[in-house]
Amino acid sequence: MERSLSLGTVVRGTYSLSALEAPGGLATLAFSEQARYTERSILLTRFLRWLKTTWLGFSLEGRKPVGDSETLSRFLTVKNWVDWNNNRVREQAFLPRRNFPVSVYRRLAQPESRLWSIGYVIASGTKAGILYGRADISASHVHTESLEFKQGWLPSFHVDIAGWPLDKGAWKVKALALAQKATPIPTPTKLPF
Bridge-based pairing state of the strands 4-6 and 14-16: parallel
**Residue 190 neighbours by CB under 8 Å, 6+ apart:** none
pTM recorded for the entire structure:
0.69
Of the CA atoms within 13 Å of residue 33, those in its CB half-sphere come to 11
What size, in residues, is the chain?
A: 193
For 92-101, the pLDDT digits (tens) are 999 998 777 8
Q: Which of 7, 189, 184 is nearest to 93 (CA)?
A: 184
pLDDT of 155: 54
Of the CA atoms within 13 Å of residue 178, those in its CB half-sphere come to 33
Ranges of each domain in the chain: 4-57, 66-186
Q: Flag residues of the chain having pLDDT under 70.
A: 1-37, 52-60, 62, 153-155, 191-193
Strand 148-151's sheet: what is its strand order? 148-151, 158-162, 102-106, 71-76, 133-138, 183-186
pLDDT of 55: 66
3-state secondary structure 24-60: CHHHHHHHHHHHHHHHHHHHHHHHHHHHHHHHHHECH
